[in-house]
Amino acid sequence: MTTSTPIDNSAVLWSATSADQADRPLLIIMHGYGSHEGDLFSLAPHLPLEPVIAALRAPLPAPLPVTDGWAWFPISEPGSPDPTTVTAAVNAVLDWLDALPQQPPSIGLLGFSQGGAMALELLRAAPDRFSFAVNLSGFIATGPQISDAELAEQPLPVFWGRGTADGVIPPSAIERTQAWLPDHSTLTERIYEGLPHSISQAELGDVVNFLRTQYASVAAEPTA
């Protein structure tokens, strides 16, 4: 059994108070290696207003020379983490979700780099719990998941954005992700010329358009 370091609930940044969270979709955002929960939370003012946004802090302190940074899983080989460490991080997020005092009507995932990998791995681990994933400069981890066949039959929306000048994510991880996503998602893929390992204004605009489409689809669904 994989032991998970829990998500620090006191470190979660919320875009809405508890009273304003009822009956609203949840968008979980997850930072990259060596960063923190405040990093991607800075995007919140630019994102659609429909969801409640929760920015999680990764559970593991990033090793030196990184200071005040956090990691979802250790880096043993860039782009090819130990599957057991990925499972531990995924379980930590699922456990955090289970413990929420109120369950949202839908849950979306957005992450950058390691956080992007987490968005995809959460989708693979529990496709029945999530509506879509946004993967920014992230990748699919190695090894199959038990729900891959389910996603092949009933794919979920995924946005994948990356830059041509990204020197952090190795080509092998990009190729693995390119091979997996088209058959396991309804994929929106964007490649940005000259963009390094970061998020550009053009990419942010594409993400906002993708999110608006997802929340418009939810709003259009008939209620019971």
Name the residue among 7, 49, 10 with its Cα closest to residue 31.
Answer: 7
Structure confidence by residue, pLDDT tens digits, 144-163: 788 999 999 999 999 999 99
> Hey, what are 167's tokens?
């020197």
> Hey, what are 92's tokens?
């930590």
DSSP structure class, residue 22:
T
* Gap between the Cα atoms of 6 and 59, Å rounded: 6
Bond into 65 cis (ω within 30)? yes
In the chain, where the domains are located: 9-218
Helices (H), strands (E): how many in the chain? Answer: 6, 9
Residues in the chain predicted with pLDDT less than 50, given as ranges, are 1, 222-224
Against a cut of 0.75, is the pTM above it?
yes
- What's the pLDDT at 76? 73
- What's the pLDDT at 90? 96
Q: Give 128: exposed, middle or buried? Use CB within 10 Å, 0-12, 13-18, 19+.
A: exposed
- What's the pLDDT at 224? 44
DSSP structure class, residue 15:
S
Name the residue among 203, 26, 34, 218 with its Cα closest to residue 109.
Answer: 26
- What's the pLDDT at 144? 79
* Gap between the Cα atoms of 160 and 189, Å rounded: 5
Cα within 13 Å of Cα(108), Cβ side: 27
CATH number belonging to the domain at 9-218, selected among 3.90.550.10, 3.40.50.1580, 3.40.50.1820, 3.40.50.700: 3.40.50.1820
Structure confidence by residue, pLDDT tens digits, 87-121: 999 999 999 999 999 999 999 999 999 999 999 99
